[in-house]
A and B are shown apart, each in its own frame.
Chain A
Amino acid sequence: MLKKDEKLSKQENPEMMDKNYWRSFEDLYNNPKTIEASHHEFKEGVTEEFNPSNLSNISRRKFLALVGASAALAGAGCADYPDKGEIIPYNKKPEEVTIGKANHYASTSTACSHTCGVLIKTREGRPIKVDGNPDHPVSKGKVCLKCQAEILNLYDPERLTDPLQKVGVGSFEKISWKKVDEAILASLTFAGDKEIAIVAQNINSPSTLKVLDDFAIKFPTTKIYSYELFNDEVKNTAWKKCYGTGSFPLIKWNEAKIIVALESDFLGSEGNRVENSALFVEGRDVDKIKNFNRLYVIEGNLSLTGINSDYRIPLRPHAQLELVFSLISEVSKKIGKGSSLSNSLSLADFSNKYNVPLKKLNSLVSDLVKNAGKSIVHSGTTLTEEVHIAVNYLNNMLGNNSLFRTDTAEVSLFPFTQKSDWDNLISKMNAGEVDTIIHFNSNPVFHLADDYDYEQALSKVSTVISLSEKENESSHLANYVLPINHDFESWGDYKTRTGFYSLQQPVIAPLYNSRQKESILLSWIDGRSDSYSEKLYHEYLMKRWKDEVYPKLDATLPFDRFWFALLHDGVINVKDAPISIGSFNSSALAVLNSYKADSSKYSIVLKNNYSIGDGRFADNGWLQELPHPVSKITWDNYAAVSFKTAKELTLKNNDLVEIKVGSRKLKIPVFLQPGSADNTFTIELGYGRRKTGIVGTDVGFDASSLLSRTNSSSPFLLNGDVSKVGGTHELATAQEHHMFDNELTKDAAIKRKVVREGTVAQYLKNPKFLHDGSEVELHTVYPFIEYPGVKWGMSIDLNKCLGCGDCVVACTAENNVPIVGKDQVAKGREMQWIRIDRYYSGSVDDPNTSLQPMLCQHCDHAPCENVCPVVATSHSPDGLNQMAYNRCVGTRYCSNNCPYKVRRFNYFNYRDFFKDSYQQNESFNLIYNPEVTVRSRGVMEKCTFCIQRIMDAREEAVRQNKNLKGSDVRTACQDACPTNAIQFGDINDKESEFHKYRNHDLGYYVLEELNIKPNVTYIAKLRNTHSEEA
Chain B
Amino acid sequence: MNIDYSQELPVVEGGLKQAQIEELVAKPLDTKPDKKFLIAISISGSLLLIGAICLGLTFYYGIGLWGNNQPVGWGFDIVNFVFWVGIGHAGTLISAILFLLRQRWRTGIARFAEAMTIFAVMCAGLFPAIHTGRPWLDGYLMPYPNQHQLWINFTSPLIWDVFAVSTYFIVSFVFWFVGLIPDFATLRDRTTSKIKKTIYSIFSLGWRHSHRNWQHYEKAYMLLAGFATPLVLSVHTIVSFDFAVSIIPGWHTTIFPPYFVAGAIFSGFAMVVTVLIFVRKIFNLEHIITINHLEKMNKVILATGMMVGYAYAMEFFIAWYSGNQFESFVFINRAFGPYAWAYWIMVSCNVIFPQLFWIKKIRRSISIMLAIAIFVNVGMWFERFVITVTSLHRDFLPSSWGYYVPTLYDIGILLGSFGLFFTLVILFTKTLPVVSISEVKAVSEGAQPSHNGGHH
- In the bound complex, do residue A869 and residue B158 qualify as a contact, i.e. CB atoms below 8 Å apart? yes
Return chain B residues, CB-CB under 8 Å to A863: 246-247
Which of A321-329, A484-492, A642-650, A891-899 faces chain B?
A: A891-899
Chain A residues 922 to 948 lying within 8 A of chain B, measured CB to CB, are 937-940
Which of A303-311, A458-466, A749-757 faces chain B?
A: A749-757
Chain A residues 909 to 928 lying within 8 A of chain B, measured CB to CB, are 909, 913
1/0 contact string of A216-244 vs chain B (CB within 8 Å):
00000000000000000000000000000
In whole Å, how far is A870's beta carbon from the nearest beta carbon of chain B?
Answer: 5
- In the bound complex, do residue B153 and residue A738 qualify as a contact, i.e. CB atoms below 8 Å apart? no
> In the docked arrangement, what's the CA distance between A464 and B156, Å?
67
- In the bound complex, do residue A828 and residue B69 qualify as a contact, i.e. CB atoms below 8 Å apart? yes
Chain A residues 854 to 910 lying within 8 A of chain B, measured CB to CB, are 854, 863, 866-871, 887-893, 895-897, 899-901, 904-909
- In the bound complex, do residue A901 and residue B134 qualify as a contact, i.e. CB atoms below 8 Å apart? no
Chain B residues 58 to 75 lying within 8 A of chain A, measured CB to CB, are 61-64, 67-74
| Residue ID in chain A nearest B66 by CB atoms | A907
> In the docked arrangement, what's the CA distance between A824 and B68, Å?
11
- In the bound complex, do residue A829 and residue B70 qualify as a contact, i.e. CB atoms below 8 Å apart? yes
Which of A502-510, A568-576, A831-839 faces chain B?
A: A831-839
Q: Is A98 an interface residue (CB 8 A)?
A: no
Q: Is B151 an interface residue (CB 8 A)?
A: yes
> In the docked arrangement, what's the CA distance between A754 and B398, Å?
9
The residue that B397 contacts in the complex, of A738, A869, A893, A899, with Cβ under 8 A, is: A899
| Residue ID in chain B nearest A852 by CB atoms | B399
- In the bound complex, do residue B153 and residue A869 qualify as a contact, i.e. CB atoms below 8 Å apart? yes
| Known contacts A871-B150, A937-B62; A751 and B325 CB within 8 A of each other | yes
- In the bound complex, do residue B151 and residue A1010 qualify as a contact, i.e. CB atoms below 8 Å apart? no
Q: Is A36 an interface residue (CB 8 A)?
A: no
1/0 contact string of B35-68 vs chain A (CB within 8 Å):
0000000000000000000000000011110011
Which of B370-378, B400-408, B428-436 faces chain A?
A: B400-408
Q: Is B339 an interface residue (CB 8 A)?
A: no
| Known contacts A907-B68, A908-B64, A909-B62; A892 and B74 CB within 8 A of each other | yes
Q: Is A31 an interface residue (CB 8 A)?
A: no
> In the docked arrangement, what's the CA distance between A839 and B400, Å?
11
- In the bound complex, do residue A901 and residue B133 qualify as a contact, i.e. CB atoms below 8 Å apart? no
Return chain B residues, CB-CB under 8 Å to A852: 399
> In the docked arrangement, what's the CA distance between A897 and B398, Å?
15
- In the bound complex, do residue A939 and residue B399 qualify as a contact, i.e. CB atoms below 8 Å apart? no
Q: Is A735 an interface residue (CB 8 A)?
A: yes
Q: Is A744 an interface residue (CB 8 A)?
A: yes
Most chain A CB neighbours (cut-off 10 Å) among B61, B69, B400: B400
Return chain B residues, CB-CB under 8 Å to A829: 64, 69-70
In whole Å, how far is A418's beta carbon from the nearest beta carbon of chain B?
Answer: 47
Q: Is B329 an interface residue (CB 8 A)?
A: yes
1/0 contact string of B136-169 vs chain A (CB within 8 Å):
0110110000000011110111110010000000
> In the docked arrangement, what's the CA distance between A870 and B134, Å?
13
Return chain A residues, CB-CB under 8 Å to B69: 827-829, 907
Q: Is B333 an interface residue (CB 8 A)?
A: yes
Most chain B CB neighbours (cut-off 10 Å) among A892, A1006, A1007: A892
| Residue ID in chain B nearest A938 by CB atoms | B133
| Known contacts A736-B402, A889-B137; A896 and B396 CB within 8 A of each other | no
> In the docked arrangement, what's the CA distance between A749 and B399, Å?
8
> In the docked arrangement, what's the CA distance between A468 and B180, Å?
79
Q: Is A1012 an interface residue (CB 8 A)?
A: yes
> In the docked arrangement, what's the CA distance between A749 and B326, Å?
11
- In the bound complex, do residue B62 and residue A907 qualify as a contact, i.e. CB atoms below 8 Å apart? yes
In whole Å, how far is B140's beta carbon from the nearest beta carbon of chain A?
Answer: 5
The residue that B134 contacts in the complex, of A736, A900, A939, with Cβ under 8 A, is: A939
- In the bound complex, do residue B248 and residue A870 qualify as a contact, i.e. CB atoms below 8 Å apart? no
- In the bound complex, do residue A735 and residue B157 qualify as a contact, i.e. CB atoms below 8 Å apart? no
Return chain B residues, CB-CB under 8 Å to A195: none
> In the docked arrangement, what's the CA distance between A395 and B5, Å?
102
Most chain A CB neighbours (cut-off 10 Å) among B62, B138, B245, B399: B399
The residue that B141 contacts in the complex, of A736, A839, A869, with Cβ under 8 A, is: A869
- In the bound complex, do residue B62 and residue A839 qualify as a contact, i.e. CB atoms below 8 Å apart? no
| Residue ID in chain B nearest A1007 by CB atoms | B396
Please report the number of residue pairs spanning A and B whose Cβ atoms sit closer than 8 angstroms. Answer: 172
1/0 contact string of A473-498 vs chain B (CB within 8 Å):
00000000000000000000000000
> In the docked arrangement, what's the CA distance between A876 and B330, Å?
33
Return chain A residues, CB-CB under 8 Å to B223: none
> In the docked arrangement, what's the CA distance between A748 and B395, Å?
11
Q: Is B280 an interface residue (CB 8 A)?
A: no
- In the bound complex, do residue A889 and residue B132 qualify as a contact, i.e. CB atoms below 8 Å apart? yes
| Residue ID in chain B nearest A863 by CB atoms | B247
Return chain B residues, CB-CB under 8 Å to A937: 62, 64, 133-134
- In the bound complex, do residue B399 and residue A905 qualify as a contact, i.e. CB atoms below 8 Å apart? no
In whole Å, how far is B424's beta carbon from the nearest beta carbon of chain A?
Answer: 27
Return chain B residues, CB-CB under 8 Å to A870: 140-141, 150, 152-153
- In the bound complex, do residue B399 and residue A854 qualify as a contact, i.e. CB atoms below 8 Å apart? yes
Interface residues of B, count at CB 8 A: 53
Chain B residues 392 to 432 lying within 8 A of chain A, measured CB to CB, are 392, 395-403
- In the bound complex, do residue B132 and residue A890 qualify as a contact, i.e. CB atoms below 8 Å apart? yes
- In the bound complex, do residue A899 and residue B138 qualify as a contact, i.e. CB atoms below 8 Å apart? no
Q: Is B337 an interface residue (CB 8 A)?
A: yes
Return chain A residues, CB-CB under 8 Å to B397: 749, 752, 754, 837, 854, 899-901, 1006-1007
- In the bound complex, do residue B134 and residue A888 qualify as a contact, i.e. CB atoms below 8 Å apart? yes
| Known contacts A744-B337, A899-B396; A939 and B247 CB within 8 A of each other | no
Chain A residues 607 to 659 lying within 8 A of chain B, measured CB to CB, are none
Return chain B residues, CB-CB under 8 Å to A1012: 247
Return chain A residues, CB-CB under 8 Å to B153: 866, 868-871
- In the bound complex, do residue A889 and residue B140 qualify as a contact, i.e. CB atoms below 8 Å apart? yes
Q: Is A830 an interface residue (CB 8 A)?
A: yes
In whole Å, how far is A607's beta carbon from the nearest beta carbon of chain B?
Answer: 25
Q: Is B332 an interface residue (CB 8 A)?
A: yes
| Residue ID in chain B nearest A840 by CB atoms | B398
Q: Is B131 an interface residue (CB 8 A)?
A: yes
Q: Is B227 an interface residue (CB 8 A)?
A: no
Q: Is B278 an interface residue (CB 8 A)?
A: no
- In the bound complex, do residue A938 and residue B63 qualify as a contact, i.e. CB atoms below 8 Å apart? yes
Return chain B residues, CB-CB under 8 Å to A868: 153, 156
> In the docked arrangement, what's the CA distance between A867 and B151, Å?
14
- In the bound complex, do residue A748 and residue B398 qualify as a contact, i.e. CB atoms below 8 Å apart? yes
- In the bound complex, do residue B248 and residue A897 qualify as a contact, i.e. CB atoms below 8 Å apart? yes
> In the docked arrangement, what's the CA distance between A1012 and B396, Å?
13
In whole Å, how far is B376's beta carbon from the nearest beta carbon of chain A?
Answer: 27
> In the docked arrangement, what's the CA distance between A745 and B332, Å?
11
Q: Is B341 an interface residue (CB 8 A)?
A: no
> In the docked arrangement, what's the CA distance between A333 and B364, Å?
91
Q: Is B310 an interface residue (CB 8 A)?
A: no
The residue that B333 contacts in the complex, of A744, A835, A1007, with Cβ under 8 A, is: A744
> In the docked arrangement, what's the CA distance between A20 and B61, Å?
86
In whole Å, how far is B66's beta carbon from the nearest beta carbon of chain A?
Answer: 8
Return chain B residues, CB-CB under 8 Å to A838: 399
- In the bound complex, do residue A889 and residue B138 qualify as a contact, i.e. CB atoms below 8 Å apart? yes
The residue that A901 contacts in the complex, of B67, B70, B152, B162, with Cβ under 8 A, is: B70
Q: Is B336 an interface residue (CB 8 A)?
A: yes
> In the docked arrangement, what's the CA distance between A901 and B247, Å?
12
> In the docked arrangement, what's the CA distance between A618 and B245, Å?
46
| Known contacts A888-B133, A938-B133, A940-B133; A738 and B401 CB within 8 A of each other | yes
Question: Given A744-B337, A908-B64, list of 15 further CB < 8 A pairs?
Answer: A749-B397, A829-B69, A838-B399, A863-B247, A867-B246, A870-B153, A890-B132, A891-B131, A891-B133, A892-B73, A893-B73, A893-B156, A896-B74, A899-B395, A938-B62
A-B contact pairs, 13 of them (CB 8 A): A748-B329, A752-B326, A869-B156, A889-B132, A890-B63, A890-B134, A892-B73, A893-B242, A897-B246, A897-B247, A901-B71, A907-B133, A908-B61
In the A-B complex, list the 5 residue pairs whose CB atoms are closest, starting with the nearest: A890-B133, A938-B133, A907-B64, A892-B73, A837-B399
Interface residues of B (CB under 8 A from A): 61-64, 67-74, 131-135, 137-138, 140-141, 150-153, 155-159, 162, 242, 245-248, 325-326, 329, 332-333, 336-337, 392, 395-403
